[in-house]
Amino acid sequence: MADTRVQLEVEDWVRENWMQERFSSEFHRTRVKLSSGGVFDFDAVSTDRKIIASISTSSAKTSSGKYAVGKMMKLRSDMLFLLMVEKPAQKFLVLTEKSMYDACEKEKAGGRAPDGIEFILAEIPIELEAKLIKARAAASKEVSPQVLLEELPDEVMLEGAKAILPETVKDEFPNKS
């Protein structure tokens, strides 16, 4: 299972350092009432509740270089909850990855993101960025098809090969028929 402690460490740093410096206010992870009557736990809420933000450490590309559709869907979900905040507040989506910031700005330019939410890019310390890259690589390796294939028992692999190329497998492994 992927270890998300590094992402939480980065979120904490953004909330407790970068946002406090940028907005001259303290921020906390806080539950906020929504206009629909429910509540949502936001990553950063100013003490006076005039600024509410979600923080994302995601990249806009997967490890194989494809567009990170699932991560973008998560951000869309965060935007929905930001729009549903009951009381007026400045609403931000704080991104730590330039590729995701660019993708969000492109969505906004194409009319596919709400006007009431501002995207901002938070620069994180290089040592935190290095830890994030390492954690992302480990998580990617955990779900890569090659790793999954390597973990399959030989019998399963052999049966799969027989189904695809039965004569070749029978010739090479005559005792396994």
DSSP per-residue string spanning 20-47: HHHHTS-EEEEEEEBTTS-EEEEEEEET
Cα separation, 138 vs 141, in Å, equals 5
Would you place residue 135 in the very low, low, confident or very high pLDDT band (cuts 50, 70, 90)? confident
Average pLDDT of span 134-138: 84
User: Measured between alpha carbons, how far is residue 149 from residues 55, 134, 142, 144, 155 in Å?
Assistant: 34, 23, 11, 9, 12
Average pLDDT of span 135-148: 68
Query: For the chain, what is the mean pLDDT?
Result: 85
Average pLDDT of span 136-164: 60
Would you place residue 147 in the very low, low, confident or very high pLDDT band (cuts 50, 70, 90)? very low
Give, for 118, the enclosing helix (H) or strand (E).
strand 117-121
Fold of 5-143: Trna Endonuclease; Chain: A, domain 1 (3.40.1350)
Each domain of the chain, given as residue ranges in start order, spans 5-143, 145-177
